[in-house]
A and B are shown apart, each in its own frame.
Chain A
Amino acid sequence: MRRTPASRSRDAVRLAVAAEAREAAHEVFTLDPILGDASAQRAADAFVEQAAMSLVVLATVAERTS
């Protein structure tokens, strides 16, 4: 099937999203906040891990659908 200019343009956007999501995942993973409370710290650490993973998932979906 021939690809239209519009679909090529959407592919380029999806690849840009994938690249940015991977870069964001890497940066988020390096974050190390000090909240000063054990419970809040655990929540922050768990969030960092989940956010990085979710960004990788977004990158993977963007790459697969392009």
Chain B
Amino acid sequence: MTGIPAGDPASCSHMGGTLRRRAAGLAQTAYPLPADSATGRLAGAVCTQVDRAGRALQGYAQDLAEALATHERLAVRAAAAGLDVQGWRVVEPYGIVTVPTIQARREAAPDLQAALDRGNARLGRARAAVTRELQAAHAALAQIATRANVPT
């Protein structure tokens, strides 16, 4: 097996957890402030977006971990059928093989490739979703910071 899909679920989960923990802590500390005060309003808005990004990253970490596990499981199945997996593609290894081996490979390859395609598509959707959420949270935070009108 070569070309394992890139990404580290643990680091994404760590970031998601940290963002959510920080957002919850800050919201709790700011809770006694009136919601219509400058600090209370700003704290609420910032915590909402930080928590949103954290939630998206935690979801992505889970999707990424599942994709990596699926990839590994399919690579094992491919190896058992005498095939190799490169990235999300099933390939026939080089070398001289017997006719029954060729037949076995050709029977196994389409199903394996279809399963790899599904895994790759799921991961693609998860990546698009986390990117959208992070970009939206970024844009919202930028707007909040601009409205606060504080030089940093």
Q: Which residues of A contact B (CB under 8 A)?
A: 9-10, 13-14, 16-17, 20-21, 24, 27-28, 31-37, 39-40, 43-44, 46-47, 50-51, 53-58, 60-62, 64-66
Contacts and interface: CB of A to CB of B under 8 A. Distances in A.
Given A58-B46, A65-B38, A13 B18 contact: no
Interface in B128-152: 130-131, 134-135, 137-138, 141-142, 144-145, 148, 150, 152
A26 to B, nearest CB: 10
A17 B43 contact: yes
If over half of A's interface residues share one DSSP class (helix, strand or loop), that class is named, otherwise mixed; here it is helix
Interface of B: 5-8, 11-12, 14-15, 18-19, 22, 25-26, 29-30, 32-33, 37-39, 42-43, 46, 49-50, 53, 57, 60, 64, 127, 130-131, 134-135, 137-138, 141-142, 144-145, 148, 150, 152
Contact of A61 (B26, B53, B64, B150): B150
If over half of B's interface residues share one DSSP class (helix, strand or loop), that class is named, otherwise mixed; here it is helix
Given A17-B29, A33-B57, A47-B137, A57 B152 contact: yes
Contact of B22 (A14, A28, A61, A64): A28
A31 B61 CA distance: 14
Contacts of B50: 24, 28, 51, 54-55
A20 B57 CA distance: 22
Given A33-B14, A36-B8, A60-B150, A17 B134 contact: no
